Amino acid sequence: GNSVTQMEGPVTLSEEAFLTINCTYTATGYPSLFWYVQYPGEGLQLLLKATKADDKGSNKGFEATYRKETTSFHLEKGSVQVSDSAVYFCALSVDSGGSNYKLTFGKGTLLTVNP
């Protein structure tokens, strides 16, 4: 089946620190990969995505590269801000017989950035 494993939190960083949240996956087909973010009191929002190997998704200073050889999609940001404090979810979707809408999520990683 399909599954996503992401690093356990919580992660606590100081402002301007470098962030990495690891994500690896297993998939029965060729997946598209996503990072979603959930800010306090808000719904899940798509942060970035990549649909094929070696693609790099980027948004708001965050980046993640689709690595097929290591089945990974690690999230990085060079300098975090207090406003980046949120829960981050790695997810995948596999195009299988037309059912490419199902998102399979990891457990989420809570990030807290202190001033």
Partner 1 sequence: GAGVSQTPSNKVTEKGKYVELRCDPISGHTALYWYRQSLGQGPEFLIYFQGTGAADDSGLPNDRFFAVRPEGSVSTLKIQRTERGDSAVYLCASSLGQGLQETQYFGPGTRLLVL
Q: Which residues bind partner 1 (CB under 8 A)?
A: 4, 32, 36, 41-46, 51, 89, 91, 93, 95, 99-108
Where residue 16 falls (left for φ over 0; alpha for ψ -120 to 50; beta otherwise) is left
If the CB atoms of residues 71 and 105 are measured against partner 1, the closer one turns out to be: 105
If the CB atoms of residues 42 and 69 are measured against partner 1, the closer one turns out to be: 42
CB of 106 to partner 1, least distance (A): 5
Return the amino acid letter for 4: V
Provide the residue count of the chain.
Answer: 115
If the CB atoms of residues 42 and 115 are measured against partner 1, the closer one turns out to be: 42
Vertex 26: Cα angle to 32 and 71 (nearest 5): 70
